[in-house]
Amino acid sequence: MTDKSIQYDRIRHMVSESGLSHIAFIMDGNGRWATGRGLPREAGHKSGAENFKKVVRMCGDVGIDTVTVYAFSTENWKRPLAEVNAIMRLLDSFVRDAERENEENKIRFVFLGDKSALAPELSRKCTDLENLTANNRRLLNIALNYGGRAELVQAFDKLIAAGKTSATEEDISGAIYTAHCGDPDLIVRTAGEYRLSNFLLWQSAYSEFFFTDTLWPDYSADDLEAAVKSFAGRRRRYGAVL
Ligand code: IPE
Ligand code: IPE
Ligand code: MG
């Protein structure tokens, strides 16, 4: 056995013992990764996009069935146009590759967020990928033009349009972008920031959190192991006495 497979076995064991089935990543630090190397921020996004694929594969290999990533927020439009365009191009090529690699990877893709603000071509490709992969078992949610507050607003609008004059928690959970899956067990944020930045506001009510200084393009199996190990040592009480 290689060191890598021994490590993966170790992580897999902790994943199954702790019941970790849904992990979410706030993939932060691409810009700092690049500027620290004297490179343009776009180079950090490219490296981050490559690492994103590796981390998703890694999560599958250690038995985590659902991964959610924060790729682009409703606030990220405030960035310089050239940077936004570079991120959109990377997303476009990610979606194209994902379609081509479907037979091999067997992942179900769901985009969380408002697609209508994306370029029509990208928006269509995202919907096509969702349809193509709808029957795959493992799930990857990509939060794209996503904001937790915007998500709740569209959920309330949807409920009102359906004739509701009051709502239950179940109604809201059923009207948000993640209606097809459970809440994240663990939310990891990279790059040393300690905030949600408008990510999964409703869904994170009882999520565990893990913060690391590692910049997203550097996120590795060692980082995943540290997060899973920490999660495995938590006691989730959900308000009760345990
Ligand atoms: C995360 O990296 C990627 C996106 C928000 C799209 P950043 O680009 O925020 O990297 P930093 O925080 O500037 O280092
Ligand atoms: C959050 O990171 C959004 C994504 C990772 C896509 P930001 O870099 O946009 O967050 P702030 O601005 O530091 O809060
Ligand atoms: Mg950032």
Q: What is the pLDDT of residues 78-98, one digit of tens each?
A: 999 999 999 999 999 999 999
Instruction: Look at residue 241 and tell me if it is in a domain.
Output: no
The per-residue pLDDT for 131 is: 98
Q: Does residue 228 lie within any of the structural domains? A: no
Q: Which pLDDT score is estimated for 181?
A: 98
Q: Is residue 195 part of a domain?
A: yes
d(CA 227, CA 26): 13
Q: How far apart are the CA of 72 and the centre of ligand 2, in A? A: 8
Separation between Cα atoms, residue 115 and residue 220, nearest integer Å: 30
| Nearby residues of 42 by Cβ (< 8 Å), 6 or more positions away | 34, 82, 83, 86
Whether this prediction's pTM lies above 0.95 is answered by yes
**Which residue shows structure tokens 């019941």?**
19
pLDDT digits 0-9 by tens, 106-156: 999 999 999 999 999 999 999 999 999 999 999 999 999 999 999 999 999
76 is catalytic: yes
Task: Quote the domain boundaries for residue 138.
Answer: 21-223
Residue 133 lies in a domain: yes
CA–CA separation, 28 and 193 (whole Å) = 8
Cα gap 160→155, rounded to integer Å: 9
- Measured CA to CA, the distance from residue 62 to residue 227 in angstroms comes to 13
Residue 141 within any structural domain of the chain: yes
- pLDDT at residue 153, rounded to an integer: 98
Which of 25, 27, 32 to mutate to test ligand 1, by most ligand atoms within 8 A of the CB atom?
32
The per-residue pLDDT for 73 is 98
Residue 196 in any domain: the answer is yes
Q: Is residue 28 flagged as an active site residue?
A: yes
From 126, 66, 60, select the one nearest 99 (Cα to Cα).
Answer: 126
Number of domains composing the chain: 1
Residue 29, sorted as left (phi over 0), alpha (psi -120 to 50) or beta, turns out to be left
Residue 3 belongs to some domain of the structure: no
- Ligand 2, pocket-test mutation among 30, 73, 74, 189, most atoms within 8 A of CB: 73
* Domain annotation covers residue 8: no
Q: How many CB atoms lie within 10 A of CB 3?
A: 8
Residue 32 backbone phi and psi in degrees, to 5: -65, -35
For residues 110 and 129, give the distance between their C-alpha atoms in angstroms, rounded to a whole number.
8
Quote the pLDDT of residue 71. Answer: 98
What pLDDT was estimated at residue 141?
Answer: 99
CATH of the domain at 178: 3.40.1180.10
Say if ligand 2 is within 6 A of residue 126 CB: no
Identify the segments of the chain with pLDDT beneath 70. Answer: none
pLDDT of res. 1: 83
